[in-house]
Amino acid sequence: MYKIISKKEIGPKVRTYEICAPEIARNAKAGQFVIFRIDDKGERVPLTVAGTDPQKGLVRIIFQEVGKSTMQLASLCEGDCIKDFAGPLGRPTEIKKYGTVVAVAGGVGTAEVLPVIKELKQAGNRIITVVGARCKDLIILEDELKRESDLLLFATNDGTLGIKGFVTAVLKDVISREKIDIAYAIGPVPMMKAVAELTMLKRIKTLVSLSPIMLDGTGMCGACRVSIGGKMKFVCVDGPEFDAHYVNWEELASRLELFKNLEKISVDKFKYSQECKCHKK
């Protein structure tokens, strides 16, 4: 069992937890992830390691309530335990001195970008971070991003922070003014695809962190397969980071839609069960 040491809400239905998991805290690196399972009947859900404190044995995760399992996780309190917390999984980000790095994050993808830019900054890189969201209230981790970035830029759909528009508009402007040595993007599939198309035109190497449907996390089930340069790869063991210019984005988007109806049914059942508990009280 793994105890929840701290719990904070950092955005609308976005929470950060610190989980007591000493072995993972000692070994996890930027870009890697864990898989949690709340109880014996729970599904296995991957979450990026958003930070660690090896001395205290703590692993930080950040998640948004989007499905039954994340809603159930959000209902737990400090001191509660979850049954399984496996990791670190996946290949870590290759950290070296590239020069100028532009990191593009959309939504909760900000939580995945943060540990990457932190280590890239420590390796001597200049970090330009571009964050996108629907509005200012949905931006998370702004203060932490400022500490790790040489330049922090925003794009919001409604113009409440930064420019009004998408991250690609900001990225295009950055590319026109700066010599970018490598780009890194994490967020919704349409955003990552748009970033990849833009950087391909400029011949800027671009890495993306993919989050497909995943089960065991060890390469045995094949659920997280993606097509990279025409070859099948498993995100859990070959990734989660890949060259954005070789990702089959259409296939990835299609596979992510496979269980949408079942996911909605699961969420509705969970909400109903919670309402019933409230009525009984």
Q: Cis ω on the peptide bond leading into residue 88 (within 30° of 0)?
A: yes
* 62 is known to lie in a ligand binding site: yes
Residue 257's Cβ-side half-sphere holds a number of Cα atoms within 13 Å equal to 7
Name the region of 92 (left: φ>0; alpha: ψ -120 to 50; beta: rest): beta
Q: Would the annotation count 63 as a binding residue?
A: yes
Question: 3-class SS at 174?
Answer: helix
Cα(240)–Cα(227) distance, integer angstroms? 13
* Eight-state DSSP code of residue 230: T
Estimate to the nearest angstrom the gap between the alpha carbon of 53 and the chain centroid: 19
d(CA 220, CA 89): 13
Was 276 annotated as part of a binding site?
A: no
- 166 labeled binding residue: no
- Residue 263, H or E segment: helix 260-280
E strand or H helix at 63: strand 58-64
Q: Is 221 annotated as a binding residue?
A: yes
Return the exposure string of 234-249: e unless at least 16 CB atoms fall within 10 Å of the residue's CB, then b. bbbebbbbbebbebbb
- Find out whether 135 is annotated in a ligand binding site: no
> Binding site residues for FAD, as ranges?
62-64
> Binding site residues for [2Fe-2S] cluster, as ranges?
221, 224, 236
> Binding site residues, as ranges?
62-64, 221, 224, 236
